[in-house]
Amino acid sequence: MKFTAEEQAMLAGDYGTGTQLAMKVLAAIGEAYDAPYMVPVTRTHVALSNQEADLWFAEKLVAGGATCKIRPTVNPSFSWDNFHEITTLEPEDEAIVKRTHAAYTKLGAIMTYNCTPYLERNVPRFGEILSFSESSATPFVNSVYGARSNRESAQSALCSAITGVTPYYGFLLKENRAGNVLVHVDAAMQDDFDYQMLGYLVPRKIGFAVPVFEGITNPSKEALMNLGAQLNTGGNIALYHIVGFTPEASTREEAFQGKTPAQQVHITQAELTAMREELSAPGGKIDFALYGCPHFTIDQVAAVAGLVKNKKLAVPLFIMTSSLTRTLAQKMGYMDIITRAGGTIVEDTCMDQPCWKFLYGKKGITDSPKCAYYTKRRDMQFVIAPLADSVQAALKGVY
Ligand code: F3S
């Protein structure tokens, strides 16, 4: 790879051992992918996780004096303020959260603790070069905004935040952004929930590819959030196009950059239904409801408030969202309605965190296959159902 004088100085350790390590990681990735050089990034998002390895790496960078040149937003952890009111926290879990907070703060990250930064705090424009980790975020910024990011890890995105550059390869190049599989969506796609199933099913049918969807009209931002989250959880798809909707696909020809699709597949309503049946735990009695994987928007919070207004939930209901949306929900009266029904809105929290230990071994309901996917190893079971149906189930305690 060719390096600028500044990048060479970083590699030589002139900016400290933390920056040197970050540049070495990026150089190794660049060499592995035959990148010719580095390019500057204008935005970064780091999927901070609170896991030991992540913390080890962040603290190593801090010890080496690194700070972020392009300050990243960060993924959710868990809000110890909110959870102290809900459950008893293990001291070691709380300690790791506090150490992670301290390390990332020292690095200069913007501590948003939100997994949908592309909607409210880190919104790119068309063509911007980014380094974004987080499964729903990378497909959204690539596909919906037409910004350019590879499918970064928490560590590679953090290295780009520190150095301000990323290796030039993969989805940063226009030619690699061409679609290669045409996906005819024959299902009606009437509910945002259908996009969860579509996102989970498509990678099974096409593997690692850039799908071009036809037959989808005017999806909501929540539908697109769901689609990206599942495409990149059920598989590893970080870029898709929707003909007539996303910015690099005004026509089918543009989406494929004039090439012929290598494969064509059809998605039917029956397949989406079968996908849901496969992913979902059987119905029956439920112990709780959990939403916000990815973090709920204010419109989704409003939808839940509308469903539970003046009613009592039979089981606890939790909604995860950003602190900004939680504050908005408070100001708009949604939080009061949900709290009076027996529900809780928690900010800054991911379901893949130890704060949910009090639900281990129980059966919940959610609208998100991603939520069910990450909690399997934690002995939690989930019925997966559309939002309205699942809230009705939480009101009755049974699905
Ligand atoms: Fe967000 Fe955690 Fe789910 S980062 S998408 S709540 S797994």
How far lies 351's CA from each of 114, 125, 228, 378, in Å?
12, 29, 18, 10
DSSP state of 113: -
Residues 115 and 75: beta-carbon distance below 8 Å: yes
CATH number of 178-277: 3.40.50
Residue 89 is predicted with a pLDDT of: 87
Ligand 1 mean position, distance from CA 351 (Å): 6
3-class SS string, 227-255: HHHHHCCCCCCCCCEECCCCCCCCCHHHH
Ligand 1 mean position, distance from CA 349 (Å): 8
Helix (H) or strand (E) holding 73: strand 73-74
d(CA 28, CA 295): 33
User: Ramachandran region of residue 84, left (φ > 0), alpha (ψ -120 to 50) or beta?
Assistant: alpha
How far lies 129's CA from each of 126, 180, 201, 208, in Å?
9, 22, 29, 22
Ligand 1 mean position, distance from CA 117 (Å): 12
Ligand 1 mean position, distance from CA 270 (Å): 28
Instruction: Please give the CATH architecture assigned to the domain spanning 280-396.
Output: 2-Layer Sandwich (3.30)
d(CA 293, CA 70): 26
| Ligand 1 in reach of 352 Cβ (< 6 A) | yes
Residues 201 and 267: beta-carbon distance below 8 Å: yes
d(CA 271, CA 331): 41
Ligand 1 mean position, distance from CA 352 (Å): 7
3-class SS string, 334-389: HHHHHHHHCEEEEECECCCCHHHHHHCCCEEEECCHHHHHHHHHHCCEEEECCHHH
| Ligand 1 in reach of 293 Cβ (< 6 A) | yes
Helix axes 52-63, 17-32, angle to 10 degrees: 120
Interval 88-112: pLDDT, tens: 889 999 899 999 999 999 999 999 9
Residue 263 is predicted with a pLDDT of: 96
| Ligand 1 in reach of 374 Cβ (< 6 A) | yes
pTM of the model: 0.96
Question: How many other C-beta atoms lie within 10 A of the C-beta of residue 37?
Answer: 14
Domains 5-173 and 280-396 share a fold: yes
Ligand 1 mean position, distance from CA 297 (Å): 13
Q: Which atom of ligand 1 is nearest to the CA of 135?
A: 5
Ligand 1 mean position, distance from CA 292 (Å): 8
Residue 197 is predicted with a pLDDT of: 96
Pick from 290, 347, 352, 353 the residue to mutate for probing ligand 1's pocket: most ligand atoms within 8 Å of its CB: 352
Select from 119, 103, 140 the least CA-distant residue to 322.
119
Q: Which atom of ligand 1 is nearest to the CA of 294?
A: 5
Residue 65 is predicted with a pLDDT of: 98
Residue 377 is predicted with a pLDDT of: 73
d(CA 49, CA 44): 16
Pick the CATH number of 5-173 from 3.40.50.1000, 3.40.50.880, 3.20.20.140, 3.30.499.10: 3.30.499.10
d(CA 262, CA 258): 12
Alpha-helical segments (H) within 207-319: 221-231, 252-255, 269-279, 298-308
- Geometric angle at alpha carbon 79, from 76 and 80, rounded to 5°: 145
Residues 379 and 361: beta-carbon distance below 8 Å: yes
Closest Cα to atom 1 of ligand 1 = 294
| Ligand 1 in reach of 304 Cβ (< 6 A) | no
Alpha-helical segments (H) within the chain: 5-12, 17-32, 52-63, 80-84, 91-107, 117-120, 137-139, 154-163, 192-206, 221-231, 252-255, 269-279, 298-308, 323-331, 334-341, 369-375, 387-396
d(CA 287, CA 360): 11
| Ligand 1 in reach of 351 Cβ (< 6 A) | yes
Q: Which atom of ligand 1 is nearest to the CA of 229?
A: 5
Residue 309 is predicted with a pLDDT of: 98
d(CA 341, CA 304): 11
Q: What is the domain partition of the chain in residue ranges?
A: 5-173, 178-277, 280-396
| Ligand 1 in reach of 75 Cβ (< 6 A) | yes
Go through 75-100 and write b for each residue having 16 or more CB atoms within 10 A of its CB, e for each that does not: bbbbbbebbeeeeebeeebbebbeeb
Ligand 1 mean position, distance from CA 211 (Å): 23
Q: Which atom of ligand 1 is nearest to the CA of 116?
A: 1
Ligand 1 mean position, distance from CA 294 (Å): 5
Ligand 1 mean position, distance from CA 116 (Å): 9
Go through 236-266 and write b for each residue having 16 or more CB atoms within 10 A of its CB, e for each that does not: ebbbbbbbebbebbeeeebbbeeeebeeebe
Which segments in the chain show pLDDT lower than 70?
Answer: none
Half-sphere exposure of 53 (CA within 13 A, CB side): 4
| Ligand 1 in reach of 320 Cβ (< 6 A) | yes
